[in-house]
Amino acid sequence: PTATDTALRRGAVICVHAAPRDVVPGEAGAVRILGLGSGAREHAIVAALHSERAHSIVTAPGNPGIATESEVIRLDVNNPSLVTDFAKDENFDLVVIGPEAPLVAGVADALREAGIPVFGPSKAAAEIEGSKTFAKDVMSRAGVPTGGARLAATLEEAAAAIDEFGAPYVVKADGLASGKGVMVTESREDALIHAEHWLAAGPVLVEEFLDGQEVSQFVFSDGVNVRALPPAQDFKRLLAGDEGPNTGGMGAYTPVPFLNDRFGGERAFSKLIVDQVAKPVVDEMRAAGTPFAGLLYCGLIVTTAGIRVIEFNARFGDPETQAVLERLDQPLSELLYASATGTLGHLPEELAIADNAAVTIVLASEGYPEDVQSGRTISGVPDALAEPNVKVLQAATTERDDDTLVTSGGRILNVVGTGATIAEARAFAYQGLSRIHIDGAQYRADIAELAAREQQS
Ligand code: AMP
Ligand code: GLY
């Protein structure tokens, strides 16, 4: 039986796609991999694994783009026992968890308990993303540089902290709030309104404002050892020039040229973050009995006083991953498997990173992020794919019965360009994007524009 047959037997799944497998199971180095997730980040991960041409890959729930590179089944990926039973039945060697929801639901715990190697931290360790106070506590115990913060349980306490730190004011909900929990404002009144709103759900965090450029540094961890990918930058605001509302991310690029002058290159920067942030956090979490195995996303601000952590995520970042993986010059499967099995220390200390550049541009629906219009026809994806050095990674897409590709959410797809320089990579990406048409779709025309100039000068 195929994975889909087994899944169907379990009742909770419906086959949506079955791409042909071009694999020889049991071949040397071949791994049977179950990927969880359905976004462009997961498409990037699956595409990297597929490009190794050795593995048998199944993705749940996937999307039509992922279905061109792996078998795709529909399965409730937030159900720990369902995922574990399925993984056992189907003899997967490795499960790779993309988004945070299955982590928070304890899917990695259930798989580990069943002895199945899983890339992604336990529910307890994923608190480093889910709870900002948990993250602040770990950082304080581990001596990791971060901004000052006060936990406020009442509006009076929030007001006192707001006045202590002064403007601009930073007020955050403590738990996962789908990106809506953070407010950065010059208005004391707005800061207090935001605090009052989120206090209904529990204590809020008032933080010192950190001034500087943001950098995302991804670090693999097996609970003990760490290995760093190259740093990247993403674009959180909807509109060019960093205007408009916050989004899940409108684009990203790597390398990050300003790190060269300031830190003597990206490798030196990554090493600094490993030494000052990732390793101390991983050590501290292991000591606390909640070892972190998976991808530690260090969200940093480079201030004039040095680097500061603003957040951790317990998973690959979206959309940075879509650019970063283009520069990884060694098999991704090895890194995921080694992180899942505590053997990262067997791999060389420095990852093989290509000296190239990658830029990813997000194409979002009309009305995104507030009032997303879905069900629009997507045309031109094959034309974009025919352009040189272009990848199209799908996210909110679905296929109608007549095989038409249509939009099904806010961030529809990513177009990724790679080149020798950032300027070249972004030219390829925008050329690819120009071939795709979706009524009303929006994108930023200035992704990596400054960085390309910075790199040239
Ligand atoms: P977070 O959810 O904590 O990552 O915050 C979302 C965004 O708000 C960050 O990417 C920053 O752009 C901004 N932000 C968060 N905390 C701070 C801070 N302490 N100082 C300045 N900007 C911040
Ligand atoms: N790029 C931001 C995130 O993945 O949370």
**Amino acid identity at 47:** A
Q: φ and ψ at 221, to 5 degrees?
A: -140, 140
What pLDDT is attached to residue 21?
A: 40
**Amino acid identity at 124:** A
Percent of the chain past pLDDT 70, that is, above it, reads 93
pLDDT at residue 25 tops 60? no
Q: What is the SS3 assignment for 343?
A: coil
| 20 band by pLDDT with thresholds 50, 70 and 90 | very low
**Ligand nearest to the Cα of 182, by number:** 1
Percent of the chain past pLDDT 90, that is, above it, reads 88
What is the chain's length?
457
DSSP line for 183-226? EEES-HHHHHHHHHHHHTTS-EEEE----SEEEEEEEEEESS-E
Contacts 24+ apart (CB under 8 A), 341-350: 341/117, 341/222, 342/222, 342/223, 342/224, 342/293, 343/222, 344/220, 344/221, 344/222, 344/224, 344/225, 344/226, 344/227, 345/222, 345/224, 345/225, 347/227, 349/227, 350/227, 350/267
What pLDDT is attached to residue 182?
A: 87
**Amino acid identity at 228:** A
Contact 249 CB / ligand 2 (< 6 Å): yes
* 255 upstream amide cis, omega within 30 of 0: yes
pLDDT at residue 170 tops 80? yes
pLDDT digits (tens, 9 = 90+) for 87-125: 999 999 999 999 999 999 999 999 999 999 999 999 999
Q: What is the mean pLDDT of residues 165-182?
A: 83
Q: Which pair of tokens denotes residue 44?
A: 């990037």
| Rounded (10°) angle between helices 132-142 and 279-287 | 100
What pLDDT is attached to residue 7?
A: 59
Q: What is the SS3 assignment for 29?
A: coil
Is residue 217 within 8 Å of residue 298, measured between CB atoms? yes
| 8 band by pLDDT with thresholds 50, 70 and 90 | low
Which is more confidently placed, 261 or 360? 360
Q: Which residue's alpha carbon is at the smallest distance from atom 7 of ligand 1?
A: 182
pLDDT at residue 331 tops 70? yes
**Amino acid identity at 202:** G
The Cα 317–Cα 134 span in angstroms is 20
pLDDT digits (tens, 9 = 90+) for 346-404: 999 999 999 999 999 999 999 999 999 999 999 999 999 999 999 999 999 999 999 99
Average pLDDT, the chain: 93
| 3 band by pLDDT with thresholds 50, 70 and 90 | low
Contact 210 CB / ligand 1 (< 6 Å): yes
Q: Which residue's alpha carbon is at the smallest distance from atom 6 of ligand 1?
A: 182
Contact 208 CB / ligand 2 (< 6 Å): no
pLDDT digits (tens, 9 = 90+) for 445-454: 999 999 999 9
The Cα 302–Cα 62 span in angstroms is 35
Contact 251 CB / ligand 2 (< 6 Å): no
| 457 band by pLDDT with thresholds 50, 70 and 90 | confident
Is residue 228 within 8 Å of residue 351, measured between CB atoms? yes
**Ligand nearest to the Cα of 313, by number:** 2
**Amino acid identity at 159:** A
pLDDT at residue 215 tops 60? yes
